[in-house]
């Protein structure tokens, strides 16, 4: 198989972890007989410095002709909060690709369970897959500010909007994942209060009944779920939810894993011909406090390569091998600086070890 990959490493530790991801991809290609042609382009602060634009036209062109996109991270104190900001590059990229679902696996390794603030006996066996809707809800509804009456001062509004079509496509995607895993799907909403959540629950119930009768669906209110996620994380498998709830719950879930540097993500959409559009990135930011010191944990970026192999290219065997190797290396005791205070591997040494062990 031959595929073209856009590589946008961005700012801070972005280039360090993305370099390891690209090296791993090249090793996978050599081992399994695939050709991954990587084309680099600027995004975020690095793109602002070079061109004044966080998502330059040249980058858009590279992304548009790619089969999948690998991203590092964007942002940092250098670029402040002015009118042109690195984060605009990321939002523009997601809009350009039309990715509507953010997929975030959260797997807790027994060997790392002591790093989490949650008790190890509750964490053992945690293996979650969050599917967060990415293009609707309060983040994209109409926003306004107006002068209120009777001493209210200014009144601000964020409209929370969802259509049946938006809910259907993300629930379908989550249900397909559930079918391939435990056959269970948890849908999180706030149907006792919000109209968008009542529609969410109706549509989810209909889609699951009509199209996925083999997958068991459970509806949980978001306030309750935020507690249950910490109390009994092993009770859940695939979780689907709307944009705002997903934003908060996936950060809460990241705490279970022990370090933000460990988690990958995929933002997925569909082209007109039905093929998958995928943007793959670790969940962490640019970590300016440790940039350039070889301290960054590359695991989130390396596991993002596994997600790309699986979701964009259907290379399940190679994806499984990458995951098994990364987990094997961690289980054998290799630790980057975020995971240990002594004998830490540098970013490059950890990446090399994974490549050496990949069979
Ligand atoms: P961050 O994720 O960059 O860092 C939070 C903490 O975690 C820091 O102490 C950092 O050193 C540590 N950390 C993060 N990734 C790590 C890794 N791979 N290995 C070891 N330690 C790691 O979040 P922040 O500090 O809030 O944000 C820094 C910048 O990143 C900001 O400009 C923010 O806007 C941006 N950001 C970008 C993205 C993205 O590009 N997707 C996401 C979040 C934040």
Q: Is 58 in the pocket of ligand 1 (CB under 6 A)?
A: no
Residues 6+ apart with CB under 8 A from 3: 34, 35, 36, 37, 67, 68, 312, 313
Side-by-side strand order, sheet with 101-107 = 35-40, 2-10, 68-73, 276-282, 264-270, 101-107, 127-133, 238-241, 184-189, 216-221
Answer yes or no: is pLDDT of 114 > 90. no
Question: Is residue 223 annotated as part of the catalytic site, yes or no?
Answer: yes
| Confidence class for position 272, pLDDT limits 50, 70, 90 | confident
Neighbours of 121 (CB within 10 A): 7
pLDDT-wise least confident of 40-44, 45-49, 113-117, 292-296: 113-117
Question: Is residue 190 annotated as part of the catalytic site, yes or no?
Answer: yes
Identify the bridge partners of residue 38 per DSSP, sorted by sequence position: 5
Q: Is 208 in the pocket of ligand 1 (CB under 6 A)?
A: no
Pocket test of ligand 1: the residue of 134, 285, 337 to mutate, having most ligand atoms within 8 Å of its CB, is 285
Q: Is 43 in the pocket of ligand 1 (CB under 6 A)?
A: no
Neighbours of 335 (CB within 10 A): 20
Q: Is 135 in the pocket of ligand 1 (CB under 6 A)?
A: no
CA of 260 to the centre of ligand 1 (A): 8
Give residue 190's pLDDT. Answer: 98
Domains and CATH numbers, the chain: 1-106+261-359 (3.40.718.10), 117-257 (3.40.718.10)
pLDDT, one tens digit per residue, over 38-97 is 999 999 999 999 999 999 999 999 999 999 999 999 999 999 778 899 999 998 999 899
Catalytic-role residue among 127, 139, 158, 237:
139
pTM tops 0.85: yes
Q: Percentage of the chain surpassing pLDDT 90?
A: 92
Give residue 183's pLDDT. Answer: 98
Position with higher pLDDT, 320 vs 113: 320
Tokens 């706030």 correspond to what residue?
Answer: 190
CA of 284 to the centre of ligand 1 (A): 5
| Alpha-carbon distance values, 41 to 8, 33, 85, 128 (Å) | 5, 26, 17, 32
Pocket test of ligand 1: the residue of 260, 304, 334 to mutate, having most ligand atoms within 8 Å of its CB, is 260
CA of 80 to the centre of ligand 1 (A): 15
Considering only CA atoms, which residue is closest to atom 6 of ligand 1?
287
Question: Is residue 19 annotated as part of the catalytic site, yes or no?
Answer: no
Max distance between CA atoms of the chain, in angstroms, equals 71
Question: Is residue 320 annotated as part of the catalytic site, yes or no?
Answer: no
Give residue 155's pLDDT. Answer: 97
Give residue 261's pLDDT. Answer: 95
Position with higher pLDDT, 113 vs 198: 198
Pocket test of ligand 1: the residue of 11, 258, 287, 301 to mutate, having most ligand atoms within 8 Å of its CB, is 287
Q: Is 297 in the pocket of ligand 1 (CB under 6 A)?
A: yes
């Amino acid at each position: 198989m031959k595929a073209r990959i856009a590589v946008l490493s961005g700012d801070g530790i972005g280039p360090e972890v993305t370099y390891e991801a690209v090296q791993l991809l090249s090793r996978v290609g050599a081992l399994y007989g695939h050709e991954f042609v990587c084309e680099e382009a600027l995004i975020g602060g690095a793109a602002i410095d070079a061109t004044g634009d966080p998502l330059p036209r040249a980058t858009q062109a590279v992304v548009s002709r790619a089969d999948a996109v690998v991203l590092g991270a964007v942002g940092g104190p250098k670029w402040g909060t002015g009118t042109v900001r690195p984060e605009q590059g990321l939002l523009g990229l997601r809009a350009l690709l039309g990715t509507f679902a953010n997929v975030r696996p959260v797997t807790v390794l027994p060997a790392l369970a002591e790093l989490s603030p949650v008790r190890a006996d509750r964490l053992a066996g945690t293996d979650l897959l969050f599917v967060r809707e990415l293009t609707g809800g309060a983040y994209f509804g109409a926003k306004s500010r107006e002068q209120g009456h009777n001493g209210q001062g200014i009144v601000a509004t964020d409209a929370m909007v969802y259509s049946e079509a938006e809910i259907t496509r993300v629930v379908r995607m989550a249900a397909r994942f559930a079918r391939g895993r435990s056959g269970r799907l948890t849908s999180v909403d706030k149907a006792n209060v919000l109209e968008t959540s009542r529609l969410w629950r109706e549509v989810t119930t209909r889609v699951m009944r009509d199209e996925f009768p083999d997958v068991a669906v459970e509806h949980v209110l978001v306030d309750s779920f935020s507690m249950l996620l910490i109390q009994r994380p092993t009770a859940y498998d695939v979780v689907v939810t709307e944009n705002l709830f997903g934003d908060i719950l996936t950060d809460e879930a990241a705490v279970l894993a022990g370090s933000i540097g460990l988690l990958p993500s995929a933002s997925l959409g569909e082209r007109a011909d039905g093929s998958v559009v995928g943007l793959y990135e670790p969940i962490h930011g640019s970590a300016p406090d440790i940039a350039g010191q070889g301290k960054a944990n590359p695991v989130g970026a390396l596991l993002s390569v596994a997600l790309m192999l699986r979701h964009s290219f259907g290379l399940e065997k190679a994806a499984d091998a990458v995951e098994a190797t990364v987990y094997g290396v961690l289980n054998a005791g290799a630790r980057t600086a975020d995971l240990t205070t002594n004998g830490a591997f540098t970013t490059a040494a950890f990446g090399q070890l994974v490549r050496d062990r990949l069979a």
